[in-house]
Amino acid sequence: MESIRLKARAKINLGLDVIGRRENGYHDVRMVMQTVGLYDRIIMTRIPEEEIRIKTNIGFLPVNENNLVYKAIMLMKNKYKLDGGIEVDLNKFIPVAACALFGMNRLFELNVPMRELMKLGVEIGADVPYCLMRGTALAEGIGEKLTRLPDMPFCHILIAKPPVNVSTKLVYEKLDNTDVKLHPDIDGIIEAIKLKDVALVASRMGNVLESVTVPLYPVIDSIKKDMIEHGAMNAMMSGSGPTVFGIFPDEQSMTACQQFLRQKGEARQVYTTETFTP
């Protein structure tokens, strides 16, 4: 195989709780993760030169060893003593390091088991193992301990990203100095998924990091409120922010809210999508 074309799927947190901080600075979390239909396109091509070349549609994105795709490729080359290089064409909106690991495995016909790929992925980032697994899952530890859950029922999802940059490191540091009184009901979310009740899942969604990020960036709360006022069963910040997603009962209300948000201008990127089952 000389070339491979892949889709790197986006993910959202239906629930995110932080239950402690480790001595090494990492945090123990409990998160319900869900893959959605939105994706990046990545084309990986083998080249004879011992180089890693990355082309991307985003001008400020690093294309050297500071790029996670570059790190993923180098990790696989070193681990499995692979000759030659890789050229990557990346049309990017979301993180795709996990997709690069998967692509290298297929491109070089290594037949590395998924479990082994997921172990390698932790060396790049705590969320990489989940991005390899995809679907609906409970993530624990620092995010690398995964338990597959029943599939989240199909639902319409609107994703909006305001034009602000959030430092995940800063958010967690501020959380450590915050007296958090309200934690999301992670077990309740899991129960609602098992009942296949989308409305119940939406009512139980929660993200403990909102207590830190939203006061810093009020636009997040504004977008959440706009989504709910325009028909979302609920809306929440995903991860440490600033991306917000809303779960809608039908496509019509979702697209109407998309048009409203675009006209209002608080979110630079507004996408319609849906739950994705691998």
**Which residues are identified as catalytic?**
11, 127
**What φ, ψ does residue 114 adopt, rounded to 5°?**
-55, -40
CA geometry: angle at 259 spanning 61 and 205, to 5°? 75
Would you state the structure tokens that stand for residue 94, as one six-digit string?
């979301």
Task: Please return the burial class of 188, using the count of CB atoms within 10 Å of its CB with bins 0-12, 13-18 and 19+.
Answer: middle
Residues 6+ apart with CB under 8 A from 125: 68, 95, 97
Query: CA-CA distance, 140 to 241, in Å (whole number)?
Result: 19
Q: Which of 265, 37, 242, 41 is nearest to 158 (CA)?
A: 37
Query: In this structure, are strands 136-140 and 27-47 parallel, antiparallel, or unpaired?
Result: antiparallel
Q: Taking the CA atoms of the chain, what radius of gyration do you get in angstroms?
A: 19
Read out DSSP for 27-63? EEEEEEEEEEEEEEEEEEEEESSS-EEEEES-TTS--
Q: How far apart are CA 117 and CA 161, in angstroms?
A: 30
Report the SS3 class of residue 96.
coil
29/145 Cα distance (integer angstroms): 10
